[in-house]
């Protein structure tokens, strides 16, 4: 057997190639894996030589994957996922605490996280979270890139590479100054449905800024609201709650946020919709490489229990 035939694909080459695809340029990819650009380029060239063809083409905006590159990228992700699983098999049985990188959507984390951490303290195995709070879109990208092990987001995602487990339902309530909500009661007999609100002169609908999945969900629920009276811009539910509590308009708040935001803004009024109430479905998604690992079930049970307890307390209150 000749010398060239002994050359094999290495995990380093696959990791460098994954970084190149993820970042779209050789310079940014090299920075992400802490090597020089020439070193990364050399590894990619060697990988291309082993596989017998170019994986990427350069253009003004960065790189473009060839057909071979696209096929290799998909296979590389599978190989690296399986490698990660192999490297972490023993963690399931470790007596020491297990540290996992977990994301949680920013419209849920401030309200749900205390209950989750409390439940994880008595769980086996002990799980320590490296938490990433961001939008759902960002968390999905981080999961696919291997920067997170799991994430708590709104479902469904429908991403083949990310198994999903639904944990609880988080219903939406109409929020605003009591006098604005009194106008809702006056305009309709009984509890209105979201489409009914467009027929009343209730003032502007305030939502979160672009990039927040909850903002899109609010606009989806209130799709018939007069477009000129939909105002985007708040960066958090805390800001949104204070705006509507001051009389700036109306919004929809999830049940998980109600207890905290009502405590922070006692003048905030809340109103339930007629059944079926609009809601979001909260679930846990994780990488395929984590499938079957016990900590997934432990984390999922903690989030589900904390979330269900939180919405139960809210439903008792309102």
Q: Do domains 4-88 and 170-279 have the same CATH topology?
A: no
Task: State both tokens at 99.
Answer: 């540290």
Mean pLDDT, rounded, for 264-285: 93
How far, in Å, CA of 102 to CA of 295, rounded?
12
Q: What is the pLDDT of residue 149?
A: 93
Region of 132 on the Ramachandran plot (φ > 0 left; ψ -120 to 50 alpha; else beta) = beta
Overall fold of domain 170-279: D-Maltodextrin-Binding Protein; domain 2 (3.40.190)
pLDDT at 122: 86
**What residue spans define the domains of the chain?**
4-88, 95-169+280-313, 170-279
Please state, for a pLDDT cut of 70, what percent of the chain lies above it: 91
Q: What is the model's pLDDT at position 214? A: 82
CATH topology of domain 4-88: Arc Repressor Mutant, subunit A (1.10.10)
Strand residues in 31-189 grouped as ranges (E): 56-59, 62-65, 98-105, 127-134, 150-155, 164-176
Give the model's pLDDT for residue 1. 41
Q: What is the CATH number of domain 95-169+280-313?
A: 3.40.190.10
| pTM (global) more than 0.85 | no
Q: Is the peptide bond before 276 cis (omega within 30 degrees of 0)?
A: yes
- Give pLDDT tens digits for 253-270: 999 999 999 999 999 999
Q: What is the per-residue burial (b if ≥16 Cβ within 10 Å, else e) of 248-264?
A: bbbbbbbbbbbbbbbee
Mean pLDDT within 211-228: 71
What is the chain's mean pLDDT, rounded? 88
Banded pLDDT at 199 (limits 50, 70, 90): low
pLDDT of residue 234: 84
User: So what's the pLDDT on residue 95?
Assistant: 52
Residue 16: the pLDDT is 96
Q: Say if residue 99's pLDDT is above 90.
A: no
Task: Give the Å distances, CA to CA, from 97 to 91, 131, 147.
Answer: 9, 15, 20
Range picked from 5-9, 64-68, 212-216 for highest mean pLDDT: 64-68
Q: Which residue has the higher pLDDT, 240 or 216?
A: 240
**How much is the pLDDT for 86?**
77
Q: Could you report the per-residue pLDDT of 114-162, keeping only the tens digit for each?
A: 999 999 998 887 888 999 999 999 999 999 988 999 999 999 998 888 9
Task: Give the pairing of strands 205-208 and 164-176.
Answer: unpaired
Cβ atoms < 10 Å from Cβ of 268: 21
**In 149-302, which ranges are E strands?**
150-155, 164-176, 205-208, 230-234, 251-254, 269-271, 279-286
- 67 Cα distance to chain centroid: 30
* pLDDT, position 310: 97
More confident residue, 47 or 82: 47
pLDDT at 155: 95
Share of the chain above pLDDT 90, in %: 62
- The tens digit of pLDDT for each residue in 226-251 reads 545 778 778 899 999 999 999 998 89
At residue 3, the pLDDT reads 46
Instruction: Compute the distance between CA of residue 232 and CA of residue 228 in angstroms, rounded to an integer.
Output: 11
Q: Give the range among 92-106, 109-123, 260-274, 284-298 with minimum mean pLDDT.
A: 92-106
* Max avg pLDDT among 7-11, 164-168, 207-211, 272-276: 164-168
């Amino acid at each position: 057997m000749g010398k060239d035939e002994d050359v094999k694909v290495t995990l380093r080459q696959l990791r460098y190639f994954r970084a190149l695809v993820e970042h779209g340029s050789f310079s940014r990819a090299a920075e992400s894996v802490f090597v020089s650009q020439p070193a990364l380029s050399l590894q990619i060239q060697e990988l291309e030589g082993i596989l017998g063809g170019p994986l990427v083409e350069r253009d003004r905006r960065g790189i473009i994957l060839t057909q071979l590159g696209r096929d290799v990228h998909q296979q590389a992700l599978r190989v690296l996922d399986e490698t990660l699983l192999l490297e972490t098999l023993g963690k399931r049985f470790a007596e020491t605490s297990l540290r996992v990188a977990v994301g949680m959507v920013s419209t849920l984390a401030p309200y749900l996280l205390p209950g989750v951490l409390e439940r994880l303290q008595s769980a086996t195995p002990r799980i320590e979270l490296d938490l990433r709070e961001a939008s759902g879109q960002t968390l999905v990208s981080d999961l696919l890139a291997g920067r997170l092990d799991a994430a708590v987001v709104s479902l469904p995602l429908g991403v083949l590479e990310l198994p999903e487990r639904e944990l609880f339902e988080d219903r939406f309530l109409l929020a605003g100054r009591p006098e604005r909500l009194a106008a809702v009661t006056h305009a309709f007999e009984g509890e209105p449905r979201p489409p009914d609100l467009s027929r009343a002169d209730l003032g502007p609908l305030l939502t979160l800024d672009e990039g927040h999945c909850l903002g899109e969900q609010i606009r989806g629920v209130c799709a018939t609201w007069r477009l000129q009276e939909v105002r985007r811009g708040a960066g958090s539910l805390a800001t949104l709650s204070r705006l509507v509590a001051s009389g700036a308009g109306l919004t929809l708040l999830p049940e998980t946020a109600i207890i905290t935001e009502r405590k922070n803004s006692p003048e905030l009024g809340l109103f339930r919709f007629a059944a079926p109430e609009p809601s979001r479905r909260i679930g846990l998604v994780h990488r395929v490489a984590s499938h079957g690992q016990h900590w997934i079930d432990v984390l999922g049970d903690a989030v589900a229990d904390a979330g269900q307890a939180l919405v139960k307390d809210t439903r008792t209150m309102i």
